[in-house]
């Protein structure tokens, strides 16, 4: 939602996925924007994509002024994003102004200098292709070549003013030394432009995380804070404007089956069609079985189901399901199931999120299962993981897809704590806890519905068993305490009598 009073300055949509949402419409028209970032933060990609999307989506021709790489290097480096720059040059939609260093690498300074010749070349290129957009990459290169940075700043200001008069929207890149230090390397670049955007590529717990922040948009509004983004082959930069999402999804009272009648009864008649369900418990206590049963119930209702497995190969998933009498291959051949198995470390979480969204948009499932979130948690920082969960759950909510997520408890077989669940528990509509319960040298399993938003549910902890035919939920545990804490203890008869008498006194 764009706040009232934010439209005084016209903006040009960039076409970069997610960018126009966090900037409330794109870059301020006919102004210069500084993009600052450390090495590897994708400044050149953003500068080039600004021109490429302009050509592809808006027929806005562009000029790329390069101060570092040669045009030939840029053409080769960017072809992987699907941008055929050479073809655009031949069609006079894209024009390079080559200001990169010469091969001998020596610059001779003699007396005062100005950038009049460079400005003349830029003006000529703009006129040649009828450009609406200009990218300059990177001004830090020329600041490093000339000792008088104040004079260079003055000349760059002159270029920025000239670009404004030429009615083009310009994007200018610059280096910075630290992710959270000074805005730019020479501390003068940010004073050249009216607007500043920062790209970051931070290292957290041995994991890289890219973010973009609009630091300053003079005279107009924008979303505040950092937003994650990724650089994808064939696409370029894709920004995930997670906190810019709105709670506008619809709701329904329609219930669907979990695939187990007893569990449906415990949940007051099944799950809501648009609900997010979390199943959490220790390893081997039945989470994957409940997931498979959930998928089978969808296929039996002729729904389209999407299963995303991050811990087992496709053959393992199919084989294990068949062990419980669930034929995934038949469900797939009937068109009611798609199984996608991916190793979590294959991508970062931002790429996983984008890929999952595309799968959902293409396959249009009514049920989704992710087994498990814990596997994805290990490839990201806590903040990145929470952003992934928020992004995914908001997407499936918007499409009213019944979604089931599993989470493995991290500490001990009793599963008394789950780091992954801590990040998603407040977002989910329903939570089912699975626990191991040890009595007299024998292992039992317990199940309870911890949370069922908007509905009555069974509060008891019930024993369940697993055999070749699936899961069977039985009677509630009696005279046992401490199951959820992971420390079950059988109450002696004297304690049961004492507690019973206590409640009788209170009721009387």
What is the reported pLDDT for 480? Answer: 78
Which residue shows structure tokens 């008394």?
416
pLDDT at residue 413 in the model: 46
CA 94 to chain CA centroid, nearest Å = 32
pLDDT for 111 equals 53
Per-residue burial over 316-347, b = 16 or more CB atoms within 10 Å of its CB, e = otherwise: ebbebbeebebebeebbeeebbbbebeebeeb
pLDDT at 439: 75
- How do strand 32-37 and strand 169-175 relate by DSSP bridges? parallel
Cα 416 to Cα 219, 410, 419, 464, 488: the distances in Å are 52, 8, 10, 18, 11
pTM for the model:
0.77
Separation of alpha carbons 420 and 133, rounded Å: 45
Backbone torsions φ then ψ of 202, nearest 5 degrees: -80, 155
CA distance 460 to 476: 6
State the 10-residue block means of pLDDT for the chain, 508 residues long: 58 93 91 89 94 95 92 91 93 92 58 73 93 89 70 78 89 86 70 85 82 89 88 91 66 89 93 90 90 95 95 92 93 96 87 92 95 85 83 88 87 50 74 85 88 88 89 87 75 73 60
Cα separation values, 235 from 50, 87, 260, 284, Å: 12, 18, 43, 40
Confidence at residue 305, expressed as pLDDT on a 0 to 100 scale:
96
Residues with Cβ within 8 Å of residue 482, at least 6 apart in sequence = 488, 489
Quote the CA–CA distance of 185 and 142 in Å, as a whole number. 12
Q: Are strands 442-452 and 430-439 parallel, antiparallel or unpaired?
A: antiparallel
Count other C-beta atoms under 10 Å from residue 416's C-beta: 17
Q: Which of 62, 65, 54 is nearest to 130 (CA)?
A: 62
Do 293 and 470 meet the contact criterion of CB atoms below 8 Å apart?
yes
What span, in angstroms and rounded, lies between the C-alpha atoms of 258 and 452?
Answer: 13
Confidence at residue 243, expressed as pLDDT on a 0 to 100 scale: 61
């Amino acid at each position: 939602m764009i706040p009232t009073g934010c439209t005084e300055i016209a903006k040009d949509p960039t076409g970069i996925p997610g960018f126009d949402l966090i900037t409330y419409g794109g870059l301020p028209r006919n102004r210069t924007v500084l993009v600052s970032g450390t090495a590897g933060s994708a400044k050149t990609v953003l500068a080039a994509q600004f021109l490429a999307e302009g050509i592809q989506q808006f027929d806005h021709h562009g000029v790329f002024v390069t101060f570092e790489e040669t045009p030939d290097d840029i053409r080769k480096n960017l072809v992987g994003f699907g941008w055929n720059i050479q073809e655009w040059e031949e069609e006079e939609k894209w024009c390079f102004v080559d200001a990169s260093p010469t091969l001998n690498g020596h610059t001779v300074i003699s007396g005062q200098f100005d950038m009049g010749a460079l400005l003349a070349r830029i003006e000529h290129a703009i006129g040649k292709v009828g450009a609406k957009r200009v990218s300059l990459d990177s001004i830090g290169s020329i600041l490093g070549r000339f000792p008088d940075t104040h004079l260079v700043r003055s000349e760059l200001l002159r270029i920025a003013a000239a670009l404004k008069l030429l009615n083009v929207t310009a994007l200018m890149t610059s280096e910075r030394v630290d992710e959270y230090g000074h805005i730019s390397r020479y501390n003068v670049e940010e004073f050249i432009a009216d607007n500043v955007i920062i790209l970051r590529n931070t290292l957290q717990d041995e994991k890289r995380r890219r973010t973009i922040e609009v630091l300053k948009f003079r005279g107009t509004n924008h979303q505040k804070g950092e937003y994650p983004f990724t650089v994808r082959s064939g696409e370029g930069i894709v920004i995930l404007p997670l906190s810019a999402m709105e709670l506008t999804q619809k709701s329904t009272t329609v219930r669907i089956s979990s695939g187990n009648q007893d569990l449906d009864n415990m949940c007051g008649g099944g799950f809501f069609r648009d609900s997010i369900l979390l199943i959490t418990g220790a390893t081997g206590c039945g989470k994957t079985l409940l997931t498979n049963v959930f998928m089978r119930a969808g296929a039996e209702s002729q729904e389209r189901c999407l299963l995303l497995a991050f811990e087992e190969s496709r053959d393992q998933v199919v084989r294990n399901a068949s062990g419980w009498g669930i034929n995934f291959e038949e469900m797939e051949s009937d068109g009611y199931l798609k199984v996608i198995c991916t190793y979590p470390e294959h991508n970062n979480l931002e790429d996983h999120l984008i890929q999952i969204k595309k799968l959902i948009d293409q396959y249009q499932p009514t049920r989704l299962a992710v087994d498990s979130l814990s596997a994805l948690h290990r490839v990201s920082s806590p903040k990145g993981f929470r952003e992934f969960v928020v992004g995914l759950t908001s997407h499936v909510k918007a499409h009213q897809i019944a979604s089931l997520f599993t989470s493995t408890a991290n500490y001990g077989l009793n599963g008394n704590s789950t780091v992954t669940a801590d990040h998603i528990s407040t977002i989910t509509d329903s939570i089912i806890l699975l626990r191991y319960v040890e009595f007299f040298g024998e292992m039992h399993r317990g199940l309870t519905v911890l949370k069922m938003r908007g509905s009555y549910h069974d509060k008891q902890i019930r024993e369940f068993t697993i055999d070749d035919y699936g899961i069977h939920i039985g009677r509630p545990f009696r005279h046992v305490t401490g199951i959820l804490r992971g420390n079950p203890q059988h109450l002696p008869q004297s304690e049961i009598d004492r507690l019973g008498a206590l409640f009788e006194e209170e009721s009387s």
